[in-house]
Structure 1
């Protein structure tokens, strides 16, 4: 095992193994991030062994009572969530070398070939009849949240500030016009949020709907996500902690997605980079694929998405 660990460490440090196509990575370095993930993944097994002994000592009854409840009384930090995730079978990414682009796909065909395989796919025509591509912009969301977000009974949902330092959706939607328009000398911005408030969700869903290609048995999710921002920022390299695979539709602008396999699949799977253009919908299991996004130059990027079962 030590010999294997040494080989894998050298592989991550030198990036000289032909089994993984690092040539298809964009021109930025993931070296330190991948090394941290690998060392955390390998080193955590010792902690798991200690933790398992402690849990066993607490007794079967206590374990069942505390740890099998659906809701946790303490939320595990994100880095620990990623470190303690169970190893993946590499079947979901093995032999995938590019992201297929499809159009006019039948839901039954999509279910058979793509919906639950975990691999990425882009559907190019899912937003054709959506008015969101016309209406959604910074000022639209600002008006929606000023009107309905602060009402009595409004539900506070998850907010993703990324590198901006914004504390909440209201601060993010209070920028001056010059910064919103990315005028010279202003700071770039990119943020996202999950929309769990039923009133606001209803207002937004007047302009988009359930993608036509999803399996017929798939139910509409009660929570949608929105991500918005301009050139120079995006989401850092991460893996999600959600229940199901998901879709994201690019309503405006363009965004590059960089996909990486989990550490245990570095020998078996490939890194990929794909550009999602306005009107495209990318579908993948973000619980399995590490992913990073970069907003490309041009129009402000706006995407909307959700999980599906």
Structure 2
């Protein structure tokens, strides 16, 4: 068992140095065999996780010895805040988060060969079939009364944020994803040249994403879209909007999110191809899925359970907006 663990560690270490995504390494025959050997012993898995936890706690303890006063002040402040909406004091590495992630029930993907596209569904049917089951779906008629697909552009977002009183501190409490660009934050991205922003010939492609934490901006955004009609009656969309925008041929690499709820993502402009990978424990039971989401369609996916990557396949800019729902 220790030999299998060491070989797995070596494989992932070499892949990381070569820039190979973990999801691709997990598709290798050798990796699958080693995973099978590791999963054959429940005791060994628990020992492995316990070891990771022990190391983590030891590191946190050592860090706390050197920053005791800082932790004390933070603790007093946290007692009066909702920790679910605060940034982490000690960000956890993605590899560690994936290692301690609880195993998924493979019924979420077993037997799925395609991602369905539906229209005119009731909230009751959506709740029973898709909302919390992990089954991905595309709803094709949920933007009938929206103006977002006509209003939201790069220039629109730039103007909205420049007018916001929070623009100077827009990154506080928010997330920004530069992907393969050089941008350090949203302010820098929105201040790219006009030629590059409009994808003119000779300019460098780009793709970025961010969460909106500015209440003023949120109110403006939501003038142009409404709660998707198919969501369960008792479900609420979270107040944080997610926006993804960029050039043809670009997108997000294979990854899995660390969020609380499933989400809907509305494709306002352009066409985006999604590639979905089941979680590692379901590789032998579930298939890889692909779906292209067109303008006017909403993709519903639990990004915390499905590994996923995206690629803009249209010849124009892609703009997607979305939110989690509970």
TM-score by shorter chain over 0.5: yes
Pairing 1:252-267 to 2, within 5 Å after superposition: 252-267=269-284
Contact 1:256-1:275 within 8 A present in 2 as well: yes
Count of aligned pairs: 276
Task: Determine which of 128, 138, 144 is the counterpart of 1:122.
Answer: 138
Displacement of 1:256: 0.2
Is the contact between residue 230 and residue 296 of structure 1 (CA under 8 Å) also seen in structure 2? Answer: no
Pairwise CA distance, 1:297: 2.8
Aligned residue number for residue 48 of structure 1: 49
Gap regions ≥5 residues in structure 2:
9-19, 39-43, 59-74, 76-81
- Give the whole-Å Cα distance in 1 for the aligned partners of 2:164 and 2:291: 36
Where do residues 1-309 of structure 1 align in structure 2 (5 Å cutoff)? 33-35=23-25, 42=35, 45=45, 47-51=48-52, 70=83, 73-148=89-164, 150=166, 156=172, 157-309=174-326
Alignment deviations for residues 123-154 of structure 1 (CA, whole Å, 9 cap, x no partner): 00111111001100000000001110545776
Larger helix share, 1 or 2: 2
Note the aligned Cα RMSD (angstroms): 3.1
- TM-score when scaled to structure 2? 0.76
Mean Cα deviation higher: 252-261 or 174-183: 174-183
Q: TM-score, normalised by structure 1?
A: 0.80
Compare relative contact order (CA 8 Å, sep 6+) and give the higher one, 1 or 2. 1
1:298 Cα deviation from its structure 2 partner: 1.7
Distance of aligned partners of 1:48 and 1:143 in 2 relative to their CA distance in 1, 3 Å threshold = same
Alpha-carbon shift at residue 196 of structure 1 (Å): 1.7
Quick one: structure 1 residues 179 and 73, their matched pair in 2 at CA, closer, same or farther if it must change by over 3 Å? closer
Residues 86 and 147 (structure 1), Cα distance of their counterparts in 2 relative to 1, 3 Å cut: same
Worse overlay, 33-42 or 190-199: 33-42
Q: What stretches of structure 1 of length at least 5 have no aligned partner? A: 9-29, 58-65
